[in-house]
Structure 1
Amino acid sequence: MMIKGEELSEIYNPKTQPKILEESASKYGDNVAIDYFGNRITYNDLYLMVKGISSQLDIRKGDIVILSMQNIPQFIILEYAIWEKGGIVLPVNPSYSERELEFLIHDSGVHLMIASCEAKVDNSKIKVIRTSPYTFHEIPEELREKWKVNDCNEELNFKSLSRDLAEDLKPNDLALLVYTSGTTGKPKGVPITHVNIFASSIIYNKWFNFSERDKILGIAPFFHITGQIFHITTAVLSGSEIDISYRFNPSLALRDVEEKKTTVTMSVATAYRAMLNAYNNEDLSSMRLWSSGGMPMPRALELEWKEKIGQWIYMAWGLTETTSPATLWPYPYDGELPVDKETGIVSSGIPVYNTEIKVAEDGEILVRGPQVVSGYWKMDKFKDGWLPTGDIGKIVNGWVYIIDRKKDIIDASGFKIMPREVEEVIYEHPAVSEVAVVGLPDEYRGETVAAFIKLKDSYEPSEKLKEEIISLCRKNLAPYKVPRIVNFVNEIPKTPSGKIMRRAFRNENT
């Protein structure tokens, strides 16, 4: 089966990111572009800083530059400054080890690294420029201690007004090189062009009616594709305000919504669970759009959010390889929660503009569209432009349901079990905060179903609670899907972007 999103003619007239910033500075010059702990930077200021910083960077067109920092103003300024010179940005989580960095440096051929104080660096491999999280504002003391934020000398001059001539960029030139998390084998580089970024940004802009009146709650990491596109490039295209505070903290995020009157956001399901846990009747009425991507959204969490906050969390689905969006819920949406009757899984929406989605014979979802990259770094291009996503799913009445990752399917005694279907049932128990279901080696069955559960703060682990959860599974699942192992854990390991890492439990128990 194949379905295609509506046509959007604007996608066929792509612009480079420096050109978009120049136009936004002209249209929205006095509008706030960035709010960092109350320090506001206008679009005029941002444009001048980008020009000034660009003249300080010793790079040429096609050079790859690592940006390793949290959500601070420098990330946005430096990104556009690198693009201004025709460079390619390689965003990196500042918590990466030197070993992880060494692989990226070797595989990509990095020319320069710009890192905030806490990031690990190896100056013997490449030139490194340091920038400080404190340059644009102090970080509140309680958060500084919690996050262990380091300070260092600022090595860039953000007051410089030099204006070098911009490099002659073309929309098909590379803008980003983003490495996948490497859940199987080594990470793969995803080369993203200005065309890809423009397509994704205009999709979000038109789909969700972004405008200069919007204030984005910037809680997704900028080094992740969601933060890159939804928080940064869509905002700049739209003349919207980007509200950031170094890292995500649920109480701080809720306070920012109440005080700064933010209007839209996108983040992972675990961030929404954290915000629900921290919710203390803050006024969240300014938010017109709560959206989520990057990982599945448990049905129980959707229902609890709707009950307490009064709005649905609009689901999105995409990958680094789709430069963020491939499917989105229609907007606005005031219907019932779209749930697959067979699996209990919440739909990830319908295909976005100009995007084709089809299901292969084995159930794998394939995607083709202007935001989809042509292939992986130093590897062959995707056949006929179709990206094999590694996700198993289905299409029902035009809605796409992502059931699970192909590599996570459990094979027990010849039966194929989707972990997410089991997780959805376990989430129905009121004691469950987070759960990861994996297949563990079993001499008799090949694999056995194991559930690792983090309880809500008001519950204590017990054999009685374990039996309740197993009984709930027996009532709602076929016998072969019921977990034979149930373990309570203090934490569910997550990636830097907040996705639950099932593989951590497989590796730990094999």
Structure 2
Amino acid sequence: MEESMIRGEKVDWEPRTQVEVLRESVNRFKDRYVIDYLGSKITYEELDRMSNSVAFQLSEYVKKGDIVIVSMQNIPQFIIVEYAIWKLGGVVLPINPSYTERELKYIVRDSNAKLMIASCESNTIDEIKVIRTNPNTFHEVPQNWKIQDCEEELEFKGTISNEVVEVNDLALLVYTSGTTGKPKGVPITHSNIYASSWIYKNWFKFNENDKILGMAPFFHITGQIFHITTPILSGSSIHISYRFDPQLSLIIAEESKTTLTMLVATAYRAMLNFLDKQDLTSMRVWSSGGMAMPKALEEEWKSKVGNWIYMAWGLTETTSPATLWPYPYNGKLPVDNEYNIVSSGIPVYNTEIKLCEDGEILVRGPQVVKGYWKMGEFKDGWLQTGDIGKIVNGWVYIIDRKKDIINASGFKIMPREVEEVIYQHPAVEEVVVAGIPDEYRGENVIAYVKLRKGYEKSMELAKDIINHCRKLLAPYKVPREVKFVDEIPKTPSGKIMRRAFKGEDYI
């Protein structure tokens, strides 16, 4: 049964600031470790003390409401610095360390940031004061990442009295990836963060015995909420390794007996390539968000690991979760019969989902921000997500991005539907389907395919993939051409960049 509007379970909670959350967790779990960085551990009490020290150091530059850019990978300093800034009443603006000078200049000018705290490898600009931190300070980074060295300028000893922070004060300013036009700032309050953290904690039953495989980038909303603020609310420990590496992630999961994680679909694909009889039975929740999960990947993971990957759907603007699979879930893979797409779950607590006439999904809830930076508030609290979807028996199915729909001779084609079919071909590891301008048809459907190991690029294989599509798709949906690529471009958070293929000439 298709529906146009559904609501998550209504529950009550009392929002708290992240400063209050940390203080409560320190009181409850002070001697338990909160961070495990490649084997080097930091307790809750040490995190509190170190963030106090850094806050004291930063207090010369940061006052309540000031914005501070944090540019680093998943290292202990990210968490320490973040809570230090919050203790001063400041706002954290997390960015990818690989941002160029051009990108940095735009972010600094648009946000009016007062300070930048950057790891050694981060690019910087002269327009803003920079304090450097070294990824090797707490543990040496694995050699394959070849980190350039710099002096550690953060101070981890000292004291401070906390600034008074309110739940409706800004805590994060996160810029969207800017798939159309310039990136937009998303202002996230302490209340938004608490709502999302509370949702994850109670939905997936986070507790003080959980060990989080924290591989999603902290500068991305998933890493922020699922891998920092939710574990700290729950008294859990966060296991990090600078950056995601599929082989290292499996080693950490097995040796540290981690229990929960959230990663993009491409990370699971990468880990499958290194799967070899590892004991992963400690993991009770493998979850994924940020991009579509191919049905074929879900089925392969289930057959080899024994668990479904719990799908999530949300945006930076929803401070991460909007829909999740029920937990625990032991049923069949929830797949839409029309598009063969895996469901993203049901609305989370206190969250409303509705469909517009054109199929665009709108979301409203306590984790949804009020509007964009310097751009006013959303009408009646409803976020227009830009995602096209459907609701069937209370489950949400994200079909595609509104802007990615292909128009070929007047026929509307959902790239994801075509991708799901191509993923069923045994030679295909990753695929992107995009519409390329055509004078006669408007757009042509083109498939860009990365092959699995053991398969060679050839005209015959391209024809075989097209013939495979002809058996399962209407003629107008079948790709006009299959182009083989060595790599599928991805964002720093691991999402496939479909826009990189529009108008590009790949061979």
Deviations 1:55-111 (A, max 9, x none): 000210000000000000000000000000000000000000010000000000000
Structure 1 residue 343 displacement after superposition: 0.3
Residue aligned with 2:268, SS: helix
Instruction: Name the amino acid aligned to 1:384.
Output: D
User: Contact between 1:440 and 1:509, CA under 8 Å: does it hold in 2?
Assistant: no
User: Contact between 1:269 and 1:292, CA under 8 Å: does it hold in 2?
Assistant: yes
Of 250, 258, 264, 1:268 maps to: 264
User: Contact between 2:436 and 2:503, CA under 8 Å: does it hold in 1?
Assistant: no
Of 131, 137, 157, 2:155 maps to: 157
1:363 aligns with 2:359: yes
Structure 2 residue aligned with 1:21: 22
Structure 1 residue aligned with 2:131: 129
Structure 1 residue 161 displacement after superposition: 2.8
Residue aligned with 2:502, SS: helix
> Residues of 2 paired with 1:306 and 1:467: CA distance?
30
Instruction: Indicate the larger mover: 316-325 or 279-288.
Output: 279-288
Of 446, 453, 467, 2:442 maps to: 446
User: Contact between 2:313 and 2:323, CA under 8 Å: does it hold in 1?
Assistant: yes
**Matched ranges for 1:419-458 at <5 A:** 419-458=415-454
Residue aligned with 1:278, SS: coil
**Matched ranges for 1:263-342 at <5 A:** 263-342=259-338
Of 78, 103, 108, 2:106 maps to: 103
User: Contact between 1:453 and 1:486, CA under 8 Å: does it hold in 2?
Assistant: yes
> Residues of 1 paired with 2:206 and 2:451: CA distance?
37
**Matched ranges for 1:10-409 at <5 A:** 10=13, 13-57=14-58, 58-122=61-125, 124-140=126-142, 144=143, 146-158=144-156, 160-162=157-159, 164-409=160-405
Structure 1 residue 222 displacement after superposition: 0.2
Residue aligned with 2:139, SS: coil
Instruction: Name the amino acid aligned to 2:158.
Output: L
User: Contact between 1:189 and 1:377, CA under 8 Å: does it hold in 2?
Assistant: yes
User: Contact between 2:437 and 2:503, CA under 8 Å: does it hold in 1?
Assistant: no
Deviations 1:261-307 (A, max 9, x none): 00000010000000001111111011000000000000000000000
Instruction: Name the amino acid aligned to 2:176.
Output: T
Deviations 1:225-254 (A, max 9, x none): 000000000000000000000000000000
Structure 1 residue 165 displacement after superposition: 1.4
Instruction: Indicate the larger mover: 277-286 or 287-296.
Output: 277-286
TM-score (normalised: structure 2):
0.98
Deviations 1:450-480 (A, max 9, x none): 0000001121112221121111111111100
Instruction: Name the amino acid aligned to 1:130.
Output: R
Residue aligned with 1:466, SS: helix
Instruction: Indicate the larger mover: 460-469 or 52-61.
Output: 460-469
Instruction: Give the share of equivalent positions with the same residue, in percent.
Output: 70
Structure 2 residue aligned with 1:485: 481
Residue aligned with 1:9, SS: coil
Structure 1 residue 147 displacement after superposition: 2.0
Residue aligned with 1:55, SS: helix
Residue aligned with 2:57, SS: coil
Structure 1 residue 507 displacement after superposition: 4.0
Runs of 4 or more above 4 Å deviation: none
Instruction: Name the amino acid aligned to 2:130.
Output: V
Residue aligned with 1:56, SS: helix
What 5-or-longer segments of structure 1 have no aligned partner?
Answer: none
Residue aligned with 1:34, SS: strand
> Residues of 2 paired with 1:334 and 1:361: CA distance?
33
Structure 1 residue aligned with 2:12: 9
Structure 1 residue 148 displacement after superposition: 2.7
> Residues of 1 paired with 2:377 and 2:311: CA distance?
29
> Residues of 2 paired with 1:157 and 1:263: CA distance?
33
> Residues of 2 paired with 1:430 and 1:22: CA distance?
52
> Residues of 1 paired with 2:166 and 2:141: CA distance?
38
> Residues of 2 paired with 1:281 and 1:56: CA distance?
48
Structure 1 residue 495 displacement after superposition: 0.4
Structure 1 residue 509 displacement after superposition: 4.0
Structure 1 residue 390 displacement after superposition: 0.2
Structure 1 residue 156 displacement after superposition: 1.0
1:471 aligns with 2:472: no
TM-score (normalised: structure 1):
0.98
Structure 2 residue aligned with 1:415: 411
